[in-house]
Amino acid sequence: MDQAEAKHDAEVAVANARQPNPRGTGPSTSRSPIRLPARSRSANTGAPQQFVPVPPPGSPAWMHTLKMPDISFRWNKHLIHYLMFYHDTKHGHDILASWFRDMGRYEHLIRSFLRQSNLPQDLIYISMIESGFNARTLSYAGASGLWQFMPAGGRIYGLRYDYWFDERKDPLRSTMAGMKYLADLHHRFGNWPIALAAFNAGYGAVTQAMRRFNTNDYWTLCEFEAGLPYSTTKYVPKFLAVAIAGHNRAEFNLTKVQPRPEWDYDVITVRGPVSLRRIARLAGASLKQMRYLNPALRRSRVPPYYKSFQVRIPRGAKRRFLSRAGATKLLAGRHALHRLRWGETLDDVARLYGTRTSVLRKLNGIRSSRELRPGVPLLVPLQRHAARRTESAQDRPLVVLATTTPVPPKGQRMVLYRACPGDTIASLARLFHCKRQQLLEWNQVADDSNLVPGLFLTVFLPRHQRFPLVRFYRPKDVDLVVVDSPEFFDKMLARRGLVRITYRARRNDTMKRLSRRFHLSAGSIARINHISRFSHLKAGQLLVLYVDAKRMRSRRMKRHLRHRRPNAHRAVHHPSRPRSRPRPVTSPTSSATTKARPAPKRTGMSARPAPPTTHPARTPKTTNRRRGTKQRKARRVRPSRKAPARQHPSPRSAPHADAAPRPYSNPVLRPCAVVDRPSSRS
């Protein structure tokens, strides 16, 4: 068996697939296999023979009674698959029923333009498979509208697309452009199947495939490997299957489908950027109806660059709209138009006109800051007594430089540009007429990373060159600081209401305790000092903390930061203060004066008892305890096999002369004294 016969058998196997019928009749009654016509080629030219537009032998009986569309076509496996999918499956029938139900909205509009353009009436089903007659449909590739125009393709045929207006979604304007596009494709190719393939894949993709395989036949290009995109090979069969269903609605059980009301409206003329909500209130309609009749208005508002604009309202609401008292006063313009510049943010515009950012977002329908690109016209409310906010010290941007302020070359000036959403190194290099590598050398930025909004870039420009559509900052308009300098920390933390302090860790200090004490998170302390949040702090370790400036004035914070004399429990020492010398202590057994460490002061707590003379040198280990908890239980010292070494009592631990001897006789096994240790928490 050759490859042609194997492919023919595979096509027959696909065409013989059966699925249940949604109308309850079960599988098709015809059990005879479907045999597609054999591929025969001319001996001399090798061109494929033209197929007769009749169902292949062995197809179900209902296919032989179908009324065919006016467009010439051939039968292939995809066409048979789509026909059986829409005819025999419930899912396919539901999709087809929803399309024919929504077809009632724009059927009269599209068919009238098809007649005016002398195009086949069956081309209305192109809009059905493209958008399902939903004017707001948006594909993953960015195509939109009834005819799924891309932004660039729509501009070629006169469809405007910007921040405020998208004529691709307007049924009237997009249908007019769609008729021109289909007529141009048919004029170029002269055949509807290949013209519809170009409508789906693009003119360039189809012509490239035709040159590669040296044929202009659509059905032949679908059979070649890497000929046309797979979606394009199924696009024309899908259109033909829907067109056949439209000519045979009774066979496809579509006679009971009730079409939706026709897209009908009245037209009014308004002046100024009026919102659809206000027009709906005057016309007695809902905002949903206004958006359905005016899908091209992306922000539910008339574009501000139109002096007068025609708005569609429901049929019969025009008289009520014109008769409403105060309509002219309500529609009067109270807004100014501001065109966004490069490097300008919404906060800058709000500060310039003395308003709030939330007001601008609501007025202009801003969903994301990435929608704002240079040149976008923004509406700004005009208030009679609105005063523009003056720039304070906090409003001055803080620009961090890697080194000292650079000196511009001779004949050039230094300016600062603040990056906005969507800016790239390549786009800014084209804007400033400089090289990409120069921007990278002037600034500490990476070439393979995106620019974060708010990042300041240093740019050197000729003195005579001006950029009126770019927002620049002069060095005197900002606070220039060098990174890691004292001025940098002072200004950076002052804007956040923080103060930078240096703290020397005490014994038993932990990250958790410091976070509670200074109202910081353990992660913040670790990030500032470049340590792990699970690190164990050592006594005397220096830590840098960013403390709230308001809390620094509290008594509790002053008590935490107070430098005390180092002792056994709180070893805190300030490097600028000399260490205190121990006072001389007179021993009770001798008159000689010896230097001993002073005992710590205990206020409100019992003093530590002196250890006995015969007590071993081993001291009980204490743990960190909170204030007010019970005393640590006495711990027994494990007995040692060897005899303990004789310990000489130190002058500090020597007992009083009148002290009574200990009643314990075993010198090895003795209970430790209970230590009444004050809490280390200050």
Convert the pLDDT of each residue in 505-551 to its tens digit.
Answer: 988 899 999 998 888 899 999 999 999 989 899 999 999 999 888 87
- CA-to-CA separations, 133 to 119, 195, 218, in angstroms, rounded: 19, 21, 27
Amino acid at 443: N
In tens, the pLDDT along 453-483 reads 888 998 999 988 888 889 888 888 888 888 8
Segments of 127-275 assigned E as strands: 266-271
Return the structure tokens found at 472. Answer: 């620049």
Task: Kindly give, in sequence order, each residue whose CB lies less than 8 Å from that of residue 325, ignoring residues fewer than 6 positions away.
Answer: none
- Per mean pLDDT, which range of 268-277, 296-305, 569-578, 616-625 is the poorest? 569-578
Say which DSSP state 443 is in.
Answer: S
Which two three-digit tokens encode residue 622?
């204490």
Q: What is the DSSP letter of 375?
A: T
* pTM of model > 0.85: no
Tokens coding 159: 């469809």
Residue 300 pLDDT > 60, yes or no? yes
Q: What percent of the chain has pLDDT over 70?
A: 70
Tokens of 458: 């240093």
Positive or negative, the CA dihedral 101, 103, 105, 107 is: negative
- pLDDT on residue 561: 65
The pLDDT tens digits for 14-42 are 334 333 333 333 333 333 333 333 333 33
What is the reported pLDDT for 257? 93
Dihedral over alpha carbons 540, 545, 548, 550 (to 10 degrees): 40
Label residue 384 by pLDDT band (50, 70, 90). Answer: low
Give how far the C-alpha of residue 331 lies from the chain's centroid of Cα atoms, to the nearest Å: 36
Which of 115-124, 431-440, 462-471, 668-677 has maximum average pLDDT?
A: 115-124
pLDDT at 259 over 90: yes
**Angle (nearest 5°) at CA 640 between 638 and 642:** 170
What would the DSSP string read from start to end of 212-232?
Answer: HHT---HHHHTTSTTSS-HHH
Q: Which of 198, 234, 192, 259 is nearest to 83 (CA)?
A: 234
pLDDT for 676: 38
